[in-house]
Structure 1
Amino acid sequence: MSALGADPGRELRTALARSLFDSGELNAEWRMVVETVPRHVLVPFFYRQDSSGEWRRIASEDPGFFAAVYSDTALTTQVTEGIPTSSSSQPSLMLHMLDALDVQDGNRVLEIATGTGYNAALLSERLGSERVYTVDVDRELVRDARASLNSCGYEPVAVAGDGRKGLTGGAPYDRLIATCGFTSVPPAWIPQVRPGGIIVCPLGRGNARLIVSDDGRAEGRFLPGGSYFMGVRSEGSNGQIPYPGDPAEINTREAHVNYLDVEDDGMWFALSLALPEIAWTHEAGMDGARTGGRLWARDGSWACVQGREVGQAGPRRLWDAVERAYGWWKGRGCPERERFGATATESGTRCWLDSPGNPVPDMEA
């Protein structure tokens, strides 16, 4: 379906597809799609941070560009005031989600977060452009992605708008996939997906696969493996939770949970469900080993953990909530992502462990 002329990335793209196929990351059908879609056209440049912390633009004329574009690596593609605000996701993660989406011939798909357009190109190659709709809050990204897609011979419907509202123009959709991070499933999506349709959406540090029912509910479990997408953002926003600054008055105590224990991947995932919308930064010693970290929330709550000491300030005691979450997770056998699920309705999203009747508790209580 794509319109390819001279293709300097073909051999590297074929090698990437073969590597992902051999490792079990994609099936034969998606392998053909990856071999066809020229990622270097959809990602004509990316940014890499140098040793001084400055972001350097890497384009096709720079050494290593093609090797990076056709590696199984996420690439930062937009930096706003020194903060990454868009990326082309790691191909294996994208394909893991597309496989879970289980698209069938004739399906109509809505993608939330167009980015570079690479994911929309994969879907267009598989289904035909006329069955793919994509929306992004950033008008400039949509404009550039549309141009890149068209140059490859793809013409999906690409719209600038708030993805949290979905896109009514092509509804009802058979499938919906989001490629930016959420803390809950936007209620507007559910009536836009037909009963029996599938939603694949990053929630916290995992990807939920939900099946829509005819009673206005979407429910399902989390996929194996992590999910580390940039958070959904509003127009003109970088999507970050602003750091409130170090408070003047800090309540200190001994930490009951070691910071390194919290860093377990399974615990981080459970914590992302129990305490959504919390920002973190790690701190390390001279040898590079992590010694602690800071966390904060939009309401000004703040905590800092160093060794066995924790300091907290603001309206909430964030580390107290982290310790409660750790105790709950540890007490249930350190469950992995696949044991968790989510139920979304127009009134909200509720996450659970093992069954819908066993909700993840409110750690703020």
Structure 2
Amino acid sequence: MSYSDTEVTKALRAALAQQLADEGHLRSPEWRSAVEETPRHVFVPIFYRQVRGQWESATADDAGYFDAVYGNSALTTQVTDGAATSSSSMPSLMVQMLEGLDVEDGDKVGEVATGSGFNGALISHRVGDKNFWTMEVDSELTRLAEARLGEIGYSPTVVAGDARDGFPGDQTFDRLIVTCGFDLFPYALAGSVRQGGVIVCPLRWGNARLVVGRDGKLEGNFLAGGSYFMKAREEGSTGAVPYPGEPESIGERSAVIGISDLEADGFGFVQSLALGEVGEVTELDDKGEPIGYRTWSRDGSWAHVLGDRVRQGGPRHLWDAMEKAHAWFTEHGSPARERFGATITPGGQRFWLDEPGQAVPLVSRPTGQEWMK
């Protein structure tokens, strides 16, 4: 063992595993063993947190470092041009997705977005490093993750490249996990998974569990937990949606829904289905109370709510779409995330409620077209 591990860090890992099990996230003994025996601190030797609007780093020399690393929280591990561009995800989210893979002994597992390498270490523990392949668009993250995996004795296949074009070669996986956010699923990835195989992938603000059918169609429900992964990006990019400012608007009117209506997690997921990839920020007063909300998209559309008034502009009317989505969500009894599903073919993707034939009639695609009804 070439890394530093102590009774304290072992106890912290055991406590984290117990917490995840008590909360219902960690169900199988195999994944519990992986959490208990995999040193997260090796993969997160430094993380960053915002303090008064500035990024500050934390390492093993800082008070509270180990408690943070072995707490159930996401940790920012890379900052580019002032924006977070990589993180070690919240452990509860990680194990929800890993459990959703339904891995069996001997399965070959692929991963998109290596990140810190910690998720890959958990998978290597479960299936063996020779059965694990991982691909990362950021060459520096690839280098660091491969070194850290080697430090704890694992040597899986680690590839630098954009997995949205599929994995190189003719490798076929039994299971595939994606740990970066997609607005539209890149269908080329489906060719890397065998018929009957399982893909767990963030789509919008949910994690879809998709099964590969005989006709190449991917279909399945969303998992219960939320999903707030960093978006897929090009190397060197932050992946952020640029703020277009507020050019000419279509006018001002009263907002039908208020800022507080956006706070429900269930609606946040439906909002993501309705609007696709957007940037957003909540404006706060001196007491930290929300007083305004801005959202915008890559096509230059924008909306700004201040109090009970809204202004919007651009090719899509984002706030109109938000209000229609909220009305649909309310009319259907605020359905839980796991009642939704996705169907993906080479021609595109659509979302549904309860069964594939009941398409979700959401109102605003990035192209400006109506969703399939």
TM-score, normalising length: structure 2: 0.94
8 Å contact 1:74–1:88 — kept in the other structure? yes
Shift of 1:273: 0.9
C-alpha separation between the residues in 2 aligned to 1:21 and 1:302? 42
8 Å contact 2:166–2:191 — kept in the other structure? no
C-alpha separation between the residues in 1 aligned to 2:63 and 2:256? 49
Per-residue CA deviations over 1:121-148 (Å, capped at 9, x if unaligned) read 0000111001111011100000000001
Per-residue CA deviations over 1:241-296 (Å, capped at 9, x if unaligned) read 00112325562111112221132211110111121012111112222122230000
In structure 2, the residue matched to 1:31 is 32
Range with greater deviation from structure 2 (216-225 or 10-19): 10-19
Shift of 1:166: 2.7
Shift of 1:312: 0.8
In structure 1, the residue matched to 2:69 is 69
* Aligned amino acid, residue 129 of structure 2: S
Per-residue CA deviations over 1:42-69 (Å, capped at 9, x if unaligned) read 1111011112x11111111222111111
In structure 2, the residue matched to 1:89 is 89
In structure 2, the residue matched to 1:47 is 48
In structure 2, the residue matched to 1:106 is 106
In structure 2, the residue matched to 1:259 is 259
Per-residue CA deviations over 1:300-359 (Å, capped at 9, x if unaligned) read 111101221001122221111111111121121111111100011122111111111121
Shift of 1:362: 4.3
8 Å contact 1:166–1:192 — kept in the other structure? yes
Q: Give yes or no for the alignment of 1:310 onto 2:310.
A: yes
C-alpha separation between the residues in 2 aligned to 1:170 and 1:112? 16
In structure 2, the residue matched to 1:143 is 143
The 1:5/1:262 distance shift into structure 2, 3 A limit, reads closer
8 Å contact 1:301–1:314 — kept in the other structure? yes
Shift of 1:5: 5.5
* Aligned amino acid, residue 80 of structure 1: T
In structure 1, the residue matched to 2:350 is 350
C-alpha separation between the residues in 1 aligned to 2:276 and 2:249? 25
Deviating above 3 A after TM superposition, structure 1's stretches of 4 or more consecutive aligned residues are: 3-6
C-alpha separation between the residues in 2 aligned to 1:196 and 1:102? 12
* Aligned amino acid, residue 41 of structure 2: H
* Aligned amino acid, residue 36 of structure 1: E
* Aligned amino acid, residue 148 of structure 2: S
8 Å contact 2:273–2:362 — kept in the other structure? no
8 Å contact 1:260–1:292 — kept in the other structure? no
C-alpha separation between the residues in 2 aligned to 1:65 and 1:208? 33
C-alpha separation between the residues in 2 aligned to 1:238 and 1:283? 22
2:5 aligned to which of 2, 7, 10: 7
8 Å contact 1:273–1:360 — kept in the other structure? no
8 Å contact 1:88–1:115 — kept in the other structure? yes
The 1:5/1:305 distance shift into structure 2, 3 A limit, reads closer
C-alpha separation between the residues in 2 aligned to 1:4 and 1:102? 31
Range with greater deviation from structure 2 (170-179 or 194-203): 170-179
Range with greater deviation from structure 2 (269-278 or 165-174): 165-174
* Identical aligned residues as a percent: 53
8 Å contact 2:249–2:311 — kept in the other structure? no
In structure 1, the residue matched to 2:291 is 291
* Aligned amino acid, residue 50 of structure 1: V
The 1:332/1:22 distance shift into structure 2, 3 A limit, reads closer
C-alpha separation between the residues in 2 aligned to 1:130 and 1:253? 60
C-alpha separation between the residues in 1 aligned to 2:187 and 2:145? 27
* Aligned amino acid, residue 69 of structure 1: V
In structure 2, the residue matched to 1:216 is 216
In structure 1, the residue matched to 2:367 is none
Q: RMSD of the TM alignment (CA)?
A: 1.4
8 Å contact 1:117–1:145 — kept in the other structure? yes
Per-residue CA deviations over 1:161-217 (Å, capped at 9, x if unaligned) read 112123133621000001111112210111211111000001111111011111111
Helix, strand or coil for the counterpart of 2:198? Answer: strand
Question: 1:208-287 counterparts in 2 under 5 A?
Answer: 208-247=208-247, 249=249, 251-287=251-287
Shift of 1:116: 0.3
C-alpha separation between the residues in 2 aligned to 1:58 and 1:166? 36
Gaps of 5+ in 2: 365-369
In structure 2, the residue matched to 1:196 is 196
C-alpha separation between the residues in 2 aligned to 1:237 and 1:5? 32
In structure 2, the residue matched to 1:154 is 154
C-alpha separation between the residues in 2 aligned to 1:218 and 1:241? 28
8 Å contact 2:249–2:314 — kept in the other structure? no
C-alpha separation between the residues in 2 aligned to 1:321 and 1:133? 40
C-alpha separation between the residues in 1 aligned to 2:191 and 2:254? 48
Gaps of 5+ in 1: none
The 1:38/1:170 distance shift into structure 2, 3 A limit, reads farther
Range with greater deviation from structure 2 (20-29 or 36-45): 20-29
C-alpha separation between the residues in 2 aligned to 1:313 and 1:278? 14
Helix, strand or coil for the counterpart of 1:225? Answer: strand
C-alpha separation between the residues in 2 aligned to 1:15 and 1:263? 31
